[in-house]
């Protein structure tokens, strides 16, 4: 018999994967952008975190209901197939494998390297940073390809580690800020007036910090008692994530003035930690931040290595007989993993040329850390609609109320992206259309 993916993950690992994939670079990487987008208006910044968190939790809840009904080899592709049919699910799977997974994974490799460079004083756009990013990318691939079980254990351990700086900053930063008056100062003084789309820009930035939970559904074929454990993991994991983010953001306000944080750029978070925990303690906790980023990278790579496999398991995609193979020893779809690493390399090259230089790609330069995430929310819309139409046996809350809330949140994300990115969104849609057209050709060839 041909090897298939085995049940090897439990509930705790699944919760750790949800938290571990989501919590990581985004809360540190995008906190400064949210602060800048809102002009230092902490109330508006917290509102952005709340809006993003509510959208994430509502979507996670709706998909958790779907998880009790459908189970195959890749959660989001399964749900798309059940709601919209095989053709739509193929395009969702193609997008996830070719754009979503590798873009987010490549950005996370750079963000992990970015904070490593902050520690050592290297420039965040130079050769040192990109070399470290490539090293992190290959290392994450290696641990996932050679030992998926070890990758799962690494995910659990890094999840515990990454919560340490968040909750320490949330508790100590808030206490220190209230005592010194810094928290009150930052909540009552704005650095600058924001534009009308400041909140939209902040919410789109927050969506990067919240994104990744859907990737945890890609292990439902490898999760013990998936119909029970996956919904629990999604709900518990996303709620803990939102709570940690908001508390961290409030704690951060008690450390240094918003003007200093905004001017500090990539060093802002390090400066905040050193202010509260002394130079040595702050540097040590900042190492935990790097480990946090690497844990997120590991979780994203977990989804990336299984991207094309989810199509091949259905007999679709390029050369399905090649990419459906599972190694009998490591129980890993190795060929799919290799292609996933290659795509990560391509998108890392694009991210550098489009965002870290003067713009190699001209008009077609866009932020690959945010726009692919907005696309996935757009793809959720017809899934939520058809789920409400078909799931007549469910209660009003599960069939109508929560899917409608998820639907409204997804539409809001799409509108917010337009206000936040403008013409860059058009450039992204051009690249997106070309890649999806290649998916159309591949589907026709397969059929």
SS (H, E, C) 121-188: CCCCCCHHHHHHHHHHHHHHHHHHHHCHHHHHHHHHHHHHHHHHHHHHHHHHHHHHHHHHCHHHHHHH
pLDDT for 15-67, tens place per residue?
Answer: 777 777 677 666 776 777 888 888 888 888 899 999 988 898 888 888 878 87
**Torsion angle defined by CA atoms of residues 290, 296, 302 and 304, in that order, rounded to the nearest 10 degrees:** -100
Q: Say whether pLDDT at 131 is over 80.
A: yes
Q: Say whether pLDDT at 249 is over 50.
A: yes
Cross-strand bridge partners of residue 223: 9
**How far is 407 from 414, CA to CA, in rounded Å?**
11
Contacts of 444 (CB under 8 A, 6+ apart): none
The answer to pTM > 0.85 is: no
**How far is 326 from 308, CA to CA, in rounded Å?**
12
Q: How many residues does the chain have?
A: 447
**DSSP 8-state code for residue 24:** S
| pLDDT score for 285 | 74
Q: How far are the Cα atoms of 34, 44, 163, 266, 269 from residue 263, in angstroms, in the given order?
A: 13, 19, 26, 9, 11
For 205, counting Cβ atoms within 10 Å of its Cβ (0-12 exposed, 13-18 middle, 19+ buried), the class is buried
Q: Is 340 in contact with 145 (CB distance < 8 Å)?
A: no
Least confident of 52-66, 140-154, 312-326: 140-154
| pLDDT score for 196 | 59
């Amino acid at each position: 018999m041909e090897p298939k993916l085995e049940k090897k993950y439990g509930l705790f690992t699944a919760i750790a994967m949800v938290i571990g994939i989501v919590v990581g670079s985004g809360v540190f990487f995008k906190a400064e952008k949210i602060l800048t987008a809102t002009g230092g208006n902490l109330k508006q910044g917290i509102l952005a975190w709340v809006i993003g968190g509510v959208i994430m939790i509502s979507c996670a809840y709706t998909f958790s209901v779907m998880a009790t009904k459908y189970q195959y080899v890749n959660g989001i592709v399964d749900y798309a197939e059940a709601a919209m049919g095989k053709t739509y699910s193929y395009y969702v799977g193609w997008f996830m494998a070719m754009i979503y997974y590798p873009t987010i994974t490549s950005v996370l490799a750079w963000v992990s390297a970015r904070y490593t460079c902050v520690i050592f004083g290297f420039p965040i756009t130079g050769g040192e940073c990109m070399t470290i990013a490539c090293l992190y990318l290959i290392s994450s691939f290696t641990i996932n390809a050679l030992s998926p079980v070890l990758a799962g254990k690494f995910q659990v351990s890094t999840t515990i580690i990454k919560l340490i700086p968040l909750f320490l900053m949330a508790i100590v930063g808030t206490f220190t800020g209230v005592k010194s008056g810094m928290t009150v100062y930052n909540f009552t003084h704005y650095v600058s007036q924001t534009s009308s789309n400041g909140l939209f820009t902040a919410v789109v930035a927050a969506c990067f910090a919240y994104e990744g939970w859907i990737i945890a559904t890609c292990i439902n074929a490898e999760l013990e008692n998936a119909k029970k454990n996956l919904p629990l993991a999604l709900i518990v994991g996303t709620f803990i994530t939102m709570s940690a983010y908001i508390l961290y953001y409030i704690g951060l306000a008690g450390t240094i003035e918003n003007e200093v944080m905004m001017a500090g750029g990539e060093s802002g978070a390090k400066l905040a930690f050193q202010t509260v925990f002394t130079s040595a303690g702050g540097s040590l906790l900042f190492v935990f931040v790097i480990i946090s980023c690497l844990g997120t990278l590991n979780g994203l790579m977990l989804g990336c290595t299984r991207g094309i496999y989810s199509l091949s398991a259905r007999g679709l995609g390029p050369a399905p007989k090649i990419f459906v193979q599972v190694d009998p020893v490591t129980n890993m779809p190795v060929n799919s993993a290799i292609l996933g690493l290659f795509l990560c390399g391509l998108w890392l090259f694009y991210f550098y040329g489009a965002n870290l230089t003067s713009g190699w790609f001209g008009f077609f330069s866009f932020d690959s850390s945010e726009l692919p995430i907005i696309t996935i929310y757009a793809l959720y819309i017809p899934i939520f609609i058809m789920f409400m139409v078909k799931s007549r046996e469910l209660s009003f809350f599960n069939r109508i109320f929560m899917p409608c809330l998820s639907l409204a949140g997804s539409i809001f994300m799409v509108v917010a992206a337009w206000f936040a990115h403008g013409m860059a969104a058009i450039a992204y849609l051009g690249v997106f259309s070309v890649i999806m057209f290649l998916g159309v050709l591949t589907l026709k060839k397969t059929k």
